[in-house]
Amino acid sequence: MTDGYEQLRAEAEAGRVEEVIVAVPDLQGRLMGSRLSVPHFLDEAARQGFGACLYLLSTDVEMDTGPGYAVDAWNSGFGDFVLRPDPATLRTRLPWDDGTALVLADAVWPGGAPVEVAPRRVLRVQLDRLAERGLAAHAGTELEFLAFTASYREAWERRYSGLRPATRYNTDYSLQGLEGIEPVVRRIRREMVRAGLVLETARAECHPGQYEIVFRYTEAMTTCDNHVFFKNGAKQIAAAEGVALTFMPKFDGGEGNSCHVHLSLRGTDGTPVLADGGAGDGMSELMRHFVAGQLACLPDLVLLMAPNVNSYKRLQPGAFAPTGIAWGPDNRTCPVRVVGSGPSLRIEHRVPGGDANPYLAVAAMVAAGLYGIDNRLPLPAPHTGNALADTAVPRLPATLGEALHRWETSEIAPKLFGEEVVAHYARAARAELSAFERAVTDWERMRGFERL
């Protein structure tokens, strides 16, 4: 029994905790699972795992499953896999959910073998590949979101039209005009800290109602665990406050919601390896290959960072989100911005939006970096101007269809992730795409109803 589980037992015996949520991050990075009583969890699930239907890892946003996934729910009789709780992820008290603890779980087959397509596993494999080379990844994810004054139910019933943003104008860095959003974001900040996350900064952003809360970087898996925990908790707090909050990458024609990922490598002993120790441009040879790998793999792997139709609405010209494939020192117009110096030298990957599954996005970045390192890829010249306006910069895949095509026909992706993972996420993207292709949108009605 781990220390965390001992503490959970003590909290339960003192009457402070009654239930444990056991959750697995799904393909979308959402938390799916069940509530267990503390005794049932400690005496059974914590030891043997806990069954959950395997369609949880082969479904779209609407919970539609279908044939063709590498893990096929129908063909396996809608059986169970096993959720094996990871004690390192236990949070004994959720400030927004009285008497409740939460633990994340890995998905394994009944015999104990990992479910290779599970997002946490996809990242674990890449982190293990790093560890084989004596390296470890540290990451921070920066989620932006929009808050509206309506409740989630009202927003849904109004089909998300005519909603009032919780701030009225561009409040980027503003310290006034925040009265409409402060009650909910204050609660989110404070309760996340009470739940154990380490807050660094928080501020309003460009789009009316937009806000960003940044937690301290740490080891990559823990950051991704914190990310899904934060997203889930922030929505619960918003719901309790009667506020609708969205992380979708592009809500309307205004600024999108990003999820910039800061990523650095260290030796497994903690030594920074990206800085060159004073000579040259500050970047070590390893870092130059690491950044080169990001650029070389980006078109093939962008699906793992931008998995939905809406992701690509954000990555269009005319906004403050990347559209090309380039890198530059402190250049926010590039998808890969090099920031920091010495031990803090790192990349900020600016492609993922608020919908990204952090495990997959970070796995893609680690895999791309390793590809660059293993193949000793030369680093192209940095972009020092406005990469968004430079037509000479190669274009990122502009739609989900293009990204899917690059992923499926990639020679690199199966080498980095294996055929099973490639096929599974291609299937997931196709499901998202074909749902969109069948849907008639408001845009089409406005454009064509009278005038066509």
Ligand X SMILES: NC(=O)CC[C@H](N)C(=O)O
Q: Which of 69/145 has CB closer to ligand X?
A: 145
Answer for which of 9, 121, 189, 314 binds ligand X (CB under 6 A) is: 314
Element (H, E) at 33: strand 31-37
Residue 4 or 29 having the CB closest to ligand X = 29
Q: Which residues pair with 203 in a beta bridge?
A: 212
What x/- string results for residues 329 through 368 when contact with ligand X is judged by CB under 6 A?
---x------------------------------------
Tell me the C-alpha distance between 89 and 197, whole Å: 12
Query: Which residue number, 9 or 346, has a Cβ lying nearer to ligand X?
Result: 346
The Cα 246–Cα 239 span in angstroms is 11
Beta-bridge partner residues of 148: 165, 244
Residue whose token pair is 């402060």: 182
Q: Which residue of the chain is nearest ligand X when measured via CB?
A: 258
Instruction: Give the number of other CB atoms < 10 A from CB of residue 385.
Output: 12
- Binding of ligand X by 321 (CB under 6 A): yes
> Count residues contacting ligand X (CB under 6 A)?
8
Pick the piece of the chain touching ligand X (CB under 6 A) from 304-312, 313-321, 363-371, 402-410.
Answer: 313-321
Interaction of residue 258 with ligand X, rule CB under 6 A: yes
* DSSP assignment string, 132-164: HTTEEEEEEEEEEEEEESS-HHHHHHTTT-SPP
> Is residue 256 part of the contact set for ligand X (CB under 6 A)?
yes
CA distance 8 to 87: 11
144 binds ligand X (CB under 6 A): yes
**Residue 84 and residue 23: Cα distance in Å, rounded?**
10
Residue 255 interacts with ligand X (CB under 6 A)? Answer: yes
- Stretch of residues binding ligand X (CB under 6 A), selected from 90-98, 102-110, 220-228, 253-261: 253-261
User: Contact at 8 Å (CB) between 84 and 22?
Assistant: no
Closest distance of CB 32 from ligand X, Å? 27
Contact 247, 238 (CB under 8 A): no
With binding defined as CB under 6 A, does residue 320 bind ligand X? yes
Least distance in Å: CB of 250 to ligand X?
8
List residues near ligand X by CB under 6 A: 144, 255-256, 258, 314, 320-321, 332
